[in-house]
Structure 1
């Protein structure tokens, strides 16, 4: 289904895991008129691992760029920017694979791509009208990861800390932190920076055509 839209604004929101990206996205969505925003999570675009064994799947480093299907994501963003709806994949962390179900995403005046490495891929970056990096102290991100993973993924504190030290921290330093230089705006203190989020929302509101 095609939708006639004069101008589609694409916003990329990146930052480390637990930095407050979801809060920033929610505030932007709330600041704009209803049905004005489509949110495309990078986490939905992990590679299809159907051909892998279960052991191989569980060995995947989900914090490495190679874990993502960049080609499909770029195609979907091109389609949305041209007013064409897409079927967004869904991913299960428990199965380490895509699920059969997809999510139908209609083009909207504002499209937000949100994820840890949203600013890493140059083809994706070149499509963005606004690039945001949500920054947050590493200790706070660790605490948020512990809180989230215990509740949502059934891990204990030691498991989360070990994973943080062995995977998350080195991957963040190697791949995520360097993408800060591509950002048009950096929001420190993550989702708690009400002033920074407010400025971003006002800027984005200005991009939205008035009725």
Structure 2
């Protein structure tokens, strides 16, 4: 199998990255693209040291099983399938699925630290940075964590101030200027995002046809 064309997609928390990513992937035939997500390589929380307020910090490069993440990307390069249990953010009421990640001509690698991990960054052919104004990103984060995950408001705000934003500034923002495309995603209109991703995908398909 020839080396896949590798697209790296990273975004700040609350940037709308998940919706953007799903819309982006929907513009491809399933056989042509596969996704590997850094989030599925979190080291279990029970192996971490809690802070004084008894919160784990998941927004550090060391929170990820970096070696396994890199190894599985290379397995896909070699045409091998990956079996990986999905990560459910320590939700004890949810049963994780076993994910089967198949090799494909286009590989999408996504996650907060994909540009920071030098060995992963070197594998990327095209880099997309998704950003949003901080107040919009925080509003989205609060809605997700309070409504969908049932987290405590004070805990969410503590993590935002002490974990999320410092990590973004240290490990993602410095790579913004290196990216091929920077998207300022301050809209919650799905049609705007769908149109935007369609245009991006069409440009990429033209680029790939010339390789």
What interval of TM-score do these two structures reach, taking the shorter chain for normalisation?
0.7 to 0.9
Give the alignment partner of residue 57 of structure 2, picking from 58, 61, 82. 61
CA contact (8 A) 2:127 2:181 kept: yes
CA contact (8 A) 2:49 2:56 kept: no
Aligned to 1:107: 103
Give the TM-score normalised by structure 1.
Answer: 0.82
SS of equivalent residue, structure 1 residue 134: strand
Give the Cα–Cα distance (whole angstroms) in 2 for the partners of residues 198 and 176 of structure 1.
25
Give the Cα–Cα distance (whole angstroms) in 2 for the partners of residues 30 and 87 of structure 1.
22
Give the TM-score normalised by structure 2.
Answer: 0.82
SS of equivalent residue, structure 1 residue 91: coil
**Structure 1 residues 38, 168: closer, same or farther in 2, change over 3 A?**
same
Give the alignment partner of residue 37 of structure 1, picking from 12, 21, 33. 33
Q: Which runs of 5+ in 2 are unaligned?
A: none
Aligned to 2:169: 173
Give the alignment partner of residue 69 of structure 2, picking from 69, 73, 91. 73
Q: Which segment drifts farther, 76-85 or 6-15? A: 6-15
Give the total of aligned pairs: 202
CA contact (8 A) 1:12 1:128 kept: yes
CA contact (8 A) 2:87 2:96 kept: no
SS of equivalent residue, structure 1 residue 128: coil
Aligned to 1:146: 142
Give the Cα–Cα distance (whole angstroms) in 1 for the partners of residues 209 and 176 of structure 2.
29
Give the Cα–Cα distance (whole angstroms) in 1 for the partners of residues 98 and 198 of structure 2.
33
Q: Which segment drifts farther, 198-207 or 161-170? A: 198-207
CA contact (8 A) 1:15 1:117 kept: no
Superposed displacement of residue 123, structure 1: 0.8
CA contact (8 A) 2:131 2:182 kept: yes
CA contact (8 A) 1:13 1:114 kept: yes
SS of equivalent residue, structure 2 residue 120: helix
Q: Which runs of 5+ in 1 are unaligned?
A: none
Confirm or deny that 1:87 pairs with 2:83.
Answer: yes
Give the Cα–Cα distance (whole angstroms) in 1 for the partners of residues 82 and 201 of structure 2.
26
CA RMSD, aligned part only?
2.8
Confirm or deny that 1:20 pairs with 2:5.
Answer: no
Confirm or deny that 1:161 pairs with 2:144.
Answer: no
Superposed displacement of residue 67, structure 1: 0.6
Give the Cα–Cα distance (whole angstroms) in 1 for the partners of residues 163 and 2 of structure 2.
43
Superposed displacement of residue 91, structure 1: 2.3
